Amino acid sequence: MTGPGERIGVLGGTFDPPHNGHLVAAADVRKALGLDRVLFVVANVPWQKVGTRPISPADQRLCLVRAAIEGIEGLEASTIEIDRGGHSYMVDTLAQLRDQDPSARLFLVLGADAAGGLRTWERADELPHLATLVLVDRPGLSCPPPPASFTFERVAIPQLEVSSTELRRRVGEGRPLAGLTPVGVATAVDRFGLYRGRR
């Protein structure tokens, strides 16, 4: 739920698993833009990834996100896409958040990969009417500018050599996740038995 007139960041993803890069991006965007909250929106069925690799169950990925953000002020896990069921489309999520509180201002947080594929998103032409884009730039890797119809902000964050793909690979190879994701995430990955045997 939203509060009247809030400035809300929306960081969507599969979060399979979440890592320190996600946390730094969310915290830096919140600070830079004076946001009240940043929602980590866990995709129920990430339609663009279905069939490309094994995807962990949504409820387990939600547990990983909750473990990742525990104790970090202003970061919250959102079940909005899991509760809605089916394939997850950000345009539907933003519209639902807007319906909950028309006075809230929404900021859709995107890294370089997501920004580069924005035109392929479901009903992408509706997104400019729902949220301001926030492009997260890292040293040597700036997000491409969005179509002219979008209002957008840029926020620079430190370079962190970490990705969910690399974390899955590390677990599959029997290597530790220490220093790349919060301890609670690594503990939950082990408890659920995720990514074992994957290379």
What pLDDT score was predicted for residue 3?
55
> CA-to-CA distance for 113 and 139, rounded, in angstroms?
15
Domains and CATH numbers, the chain: 7-192 (3.40.50.620)
What is the rounded distance in angstroms from the CA atom of residue 10 to the CA atom of residue 156? 17
- Note the pTM of the prediction, 2 decimals: 0.92
User: Which pLDDT score, from 0 to 100, does residue 79 have?
Assistant: 98
pLDDT at 64: 98
Is 80 exceeded by the pLDDT of residue 2?
no
- Cβ-based neighbours of 90, under 8 Å, separated by 6 or more: 10, 12, 41, 108, 121, 122, 127
184, pLDDT greater than 60 = yes
Tokens representing 123? Answer: 């009903």
Query: According to the model, what pLDDT value does residue 32 have?
Result: 97
pLDDT digits (tens, 9 = 90+) for 132-154: 999 998 877 777 788 888 899 99
Amino acid letter at 102? P
pLDDT tens sequence across 66-124? 999 999 999 999 999 999 999 999 999 999 999 999 999 999 999 877 888 888 899 99
CB proximity list for 5: less than 8 A, separation 6 or greater:
103, 104, 105
Q: What is the DSSP letter of 117?
A: T
Could you give the percent of the chain with pLDDT greater than 90?
Answer: 77
Q: What is the pLDDT of residue 50?
A: 81
With 60 as the cut, is the pLDDT of residue 1 above it?
no
Query: In whole numbers, what is the pLDDT of the chain averaged over residues?
Result: 92
What gap in Å lies between CA 133 and CA 128, rounded to an integer? 8
